[in-house]
Structure 1
Amino acid sequence: MVSAMALVFLGSKSASASKLPSNYSFDVMKAQDGSIPYMVKPTVKSGYIWNYSHTKRIHNIKNYPSSNWYVNYASIKKYGNKSSVYYRVVSNSGKVKGLIWSGYLTRILALEPDSFNSEASFDNYMQTNRSQRLSREIMKLFPNSKLSLDLTKATQGVNPNHPFKTNKYTDVINIGDLQPTGSTDELNNIGWKLSQTSGDPITPRINYVKQVLEDNGYTAQKRNSMSDYYLGLYITDNAQIGTEKDFPFPYPTIQSDDGMTLSAQLFLAKLK
């Protein structure tokens, strides 16, 4: 949902929740890098989305279990003696918009590979974290290739100006560089397409990946046979980078929320 690749700025300037200013607001038009990605809290089973004037219920989040929600405006609304923060949100499909109580949602957060010190913790993260839904679908395309934290770390920042340098691996395949048959435009390669559609619905993107893989000879049969390959993945899918402690203020702020990362790096390689 953001238009340019950026790094996240973590929230050292954030206010505390107990010091919520009476005129608090967040306006995406004043933020550098776009809307803030949220998901429904796991404990929330139902919650209404209202029209912007807060006079009519128009949707229920229970009907959109797979959607991400992008906050583009937030402010305090007072009802009687109670003040609450409400978000203006849009679904990742762009089809659902409205006003929702902030208490229903929580940030979508991702971690960098260097945050992990064991394969087990990395694997658990990849299998359970909301930000890694696309990664999980890509892993299914290579069912017999083993996810590798070491390879994932080794391939960070690899690009035409910074080639893959480690001597631990051989037969390295940069999946992200693959393009459809007949294409010579790098804007069509897998990595670029996934980064520029970060946060969008997963099915059409994974179908694009499958088609490009097929175009390049990586049929389902071929992929199934790649049991001697390791898989290195780093796809943040427009999530913010960090943990809840990096965002102590529970509501979007320009200072702490500018910037999501659109990284999408995908590699296969054999150990020497």
Structure 2
Amino acid sequence: MKWKRIVLLAFATSLFFPITGNFTAQANSGYQVVKTKYYTSSTPFHAKNPKQNAYLWNVKHTRKLHNLKNYPNSFWTRAKTVILRKHNKSAVYYYVAGVTPKGTSNLYGYVWRGYLKPGYNPNYKVWNGLDINYFLNDKDYQRYINQSPSQSLSRKVLKLFPGTRLSLKLSQLTAYGSTLSDFQKQFTDVIINKNANYAFYNPRGKVTSANEKLSAIKSAFNAAGYDSQKRSALNGYQIGIYYESNRQKGGVLSYDDGYYAGVTVAKPLN
């Protein structure tokens, strides 16, 4: 269960799209690019108002390429920032690549940054396989788990620990396959159950259902002394989880991203 992240692919593609040239003089429009900043990682943004006309332009600002309003479920990854100036007035634009649930390609352009806000598109009902590194906070990741079709098992596992609170940081450490010492830099009383984590995978190539995986995970914790009563008593603990059951369609995702499925329970140091 290792995948190449969707946002990273969109970002890498955007760097080589033909309209990324940096021009110092813009004929016909009066706009000039006076400053450019490039990024080495892809940060997702989504439309601040998905019902508002918000256009992506070519670098000369002479042609509208796309309208954010036409892609209400999409998000946009930023490759660079440019400052455009016209008549001594400046505005900040992002050069972005669009990512749609269906894997639509060739959605590129420059958009005024005021039309965007940080984070994935919050309509997680249509999204699977999002990179765990780009969720904004615990609540954002919780919304993803609550809504995404790929998170059915995650939702079931979280119910096994009713007194815990979902932690994005703990989930990221889990996804990275972190060692106990890595966890202990930020958490204490760390509970890692290797047999439970193995149960997230399909044993020996056999495809198991979410309920079968859940049963194996529950049995592994019971065998380790964490039965229903003890799991319910873990008040003040946080829980981290990473799992994806569905892949994003449209040829966007491929294997091998270095992430690991599993669950970890621990107390924060602070």
Bigger Cα Rg? 2
TM-score relative to the length of structure 1 = 0.48
TM-score relative to the length of structure 2 = 0.48
Which is bigger in relative contact order (C-alpha 8 A, separation at least 6)?
Answer: 1
